[in-house]
Structure 1
């Protein structure tokens, strides 16, 4: 049976004042898979993520979500079509509690933000959903802590929880284990596996042990172009990938 395509990039080009950051990138992410995008620094991974999520408009080419073109839409509309993302740099509200960070995200697509006269108690209608999301990402014991007081790994967990508030069908994770020790990495691996149940996940990741544990398929970028794409065991043996990125790690 053919697996439907959840997210697709078609001949994506992005130019910045004479510099071509992505060059004719084609990407197919199958529904229900965990798909990793890897490559050396400067390969175009972040630019590609920004194109997929609507934070950049392509110079040419298209992005489609479940067959519907989305590259002409603003990011908030793309989120409502079923695609959410996290960021490499922390994007939580540090002065709010963990629970309030999730409540604000849950509130955003409703009519509540524009109803400034509405009692704060109205927000509590979203409370059970916020509590469930925090439990799902392992932060149910940290609800009343300020986000500023969280560890680096816990902030990553909160960011993934915030991404889940819009109930995405496709979730993009930008460097989810960046800056973590082995314990934090193991926690995030388990979390990604959990949130991937019933949805599609695309992640940019440098840690190849994380990629090997999580990814069903991999796309390798170099100089803004797709160098190789396929299953981990296939890609890690590709001589072009070994030369460009993996090096001796491929023989480990």
Structure 2
């Protein structure tokens, strides 16, 4: 593996890491006697790409659900830009600047690519109160939709049905849908899952692009992707933080090598 590297063209503008964008404080989540997260504390700084890794069953998705409000912690707190948010509903957290994608595809397959983005764009407006708003009435948001599709590399696919997209293109669309909320913090759950090398390369480039001016947190199994993208890493094992720090520091940690990386860590 190699440490994160960017070409000059891909390098985001420098962003101060002084502020903490997202923080977990002693998070515990129990499910009927099973402890999925155990006293998890971490700080994710503004402007960084932070990867959360660990073996299957380590608690990564549970942690994502706690950070984004889809689960309430048994104990502990989540803070977004210094404000406690773990008692808020997911849409309220979105309005405070955090958005996420999901590991399982969440697009509307019978709608076009552009229509998927238009529907997502309406949620911060007054239009959600009119749930059955005809798509034609959403055209006031068309310029924004077109720009987002260009940003995620789907500008020429706007008229295709989402059902006809490749797996990688659906992931691009999902990231585009996440961007409709203009997030300051973006959580990506397994963005390269199930992809071949070409799709992985495309997503790496996309994540670099969307990270400009915002904080990105990703759960990712592909260590090559982590090596390319991550400024800092948190490693989970059995629901607890095993190690956290800069990529080079973590990859040489004997506990991490033994628990997860194996020969990849060398």
When normalised by structure 1's length, the TM-score is 0.97
Deviations 1:59-86 (A, max 9, x none): 0000000000000000011001000000
1:113 shift after superposition:
3.0
1:2 shift after superposition:
6.3
Q: Secondary structure at the match of 1:218?
A: strand
1:114 shift after superposition:
2.6
Q: Which residue of 2 aligns with 1:126?
A: 141
Q: Secondary structure at the match of 1:221?
A: strand
Structure-2 change in CA distance of 1:103 and 1:203 (3 Å): same
**Pairwise CA RMSD of aligned residues?**
1.2
Which residues of 2 match residues 1-252 of structure 1 at below 5 A?
3-115=18-130, 120-251=135-266
1:122 shift after superposition:
3.0
Deviations 1:27-60 (A, max 9, x none): 1000000000000000000000000000000000
Which segments of 5 or more consecutive residues in structure 1 lack a partner in the other structure?
none
In structure 2, how many angstroms separate the alpha carbons of the residues matched to 1:2 and 1:170?
Answer: 13
What number of residue pairs does the alignment pair up? 251
1:108 shift after superposition:
1.7
1:110 shift after superposition:
1.4
Structure-2 change in CA distance of 1:116 and 1:219 (3 Å): closer
Deviations 1:72-127 (A, max 9, x none): 00001100100000000000000000000000000122112333686654311100
